């Protein structure tokens, strides 16, 4: 529950607003979310950047997907009582993530997301832009979930402070605490590769 829950919900309800079938509760959900992106942006800065984390795009696959996104979808599915949708939502999330990685990754130009305020803001805006673009594609998956009853349930949850002031900040802190070990665990850093090459050469020389 977790970093991306709000994004899934934003997607779920804002993307649906133009549809006729959306009930009043769903519109209330959308309006409850309007101020949240800037709250999240500030949290990202204080809980992630200021803790010395250097987030990069591969961190989504290395940590965030399995530790934030998947649990958020599961918990939402439980609360909304919409069976058989979990798989579709996860697939949708992966698809949206791929689009964002492809579109917003290159503009980082090898920097990490927290490297300076402009980089962070640009990445955040790119994220938002492609998040909504990518979501439009998935309206057919989302529409059947936007019943008035389901939205009422989400609205109650989103109204509470716990999600915004406890759950999401805690998840961000959890990420920040492992953040800088993620990439070196999965792939050797450039310097280490260099070191290995040097060692290899030394070994070769010794063999000669
Ligand atoms: C995330 O979960 C999937 C499915 O359970 C698994 O295949 C994958 O290896 C996990 N990724 C990481 C980085 O743990």
Q: How many angstroms is it from 65 CA to the middle of ligand 1?
A: 8
- pTM for the predicted model, two decimal places: 0.75
Residues flanking ligand 1, CB < 6 Å = 62, 66
DSSP string, 86-123: HHHHHHHHHHHHHHHHHHHSGGGTT--TTSSHHHHHHH
Per-residue pLDDT of the chain (208 residues; tens, 9 = 90+): 454 555 666 666 555 555 445 677 877 877 777 778 888 899 999 999 999 999 999 999 999 999 999 999 888 888 877 777 889 889 999 999 999 999 999 999 999 999 999 999 999 999 988 988 887 888 787 777 778 888 888 888 888 888 899 999 999 999 999 999 998 665 554 554 455 555 555 545 554 5
Query: What does the domain layout of the chain look like in residue ranges?
Result: 5-177, 183-208
From the CA of 63, give the closest atom in ligand 1. Answer: 13
CA distance 162 to 167: 6
């Amino acid at each position: 529950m977790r970093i991306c829950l709000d994004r899934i919900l934003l997607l779920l309800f804002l993307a649906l607003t133009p549809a006729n079938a959306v009930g009043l509760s769903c519109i209330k959900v959308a309006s409850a979310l309007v101020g949240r992106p800037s709250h999240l942006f500030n949290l990202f800065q204080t809980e992630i950047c200021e803790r010395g984390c250097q987030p990069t795009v591969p961190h989504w696959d290395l940590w965030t997907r399995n530790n934030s996104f998947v649990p958020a979808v599961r918990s939402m599915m439980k609360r909304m009582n919409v069976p058989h949708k979990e798989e579709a939502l996860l697939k949708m999330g992966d698809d949206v993530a791929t689009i964002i990685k492809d579109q917003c990754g290159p503009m980082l130009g090898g920097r990490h997301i927290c490297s300076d305020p402009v980089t962070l803001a640009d990445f955040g805006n790119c994220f938002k832009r492609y998040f909504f673009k990518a979501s439009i594609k998935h309206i057919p998956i989302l529409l059947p979930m936007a019943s008035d009853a389901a939205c009422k349930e989400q609205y109650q949850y989103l109204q509470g402070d716990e999600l915004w002031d406890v759950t999401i900040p805690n998840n961000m802190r959890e990420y920040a605490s492992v953040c800088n070990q993620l990439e070196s665990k999965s792939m050797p850093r450039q310097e280490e590769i260099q070191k290995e090459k040097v060692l290899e050469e030394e070994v070769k020389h010794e063999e000669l």
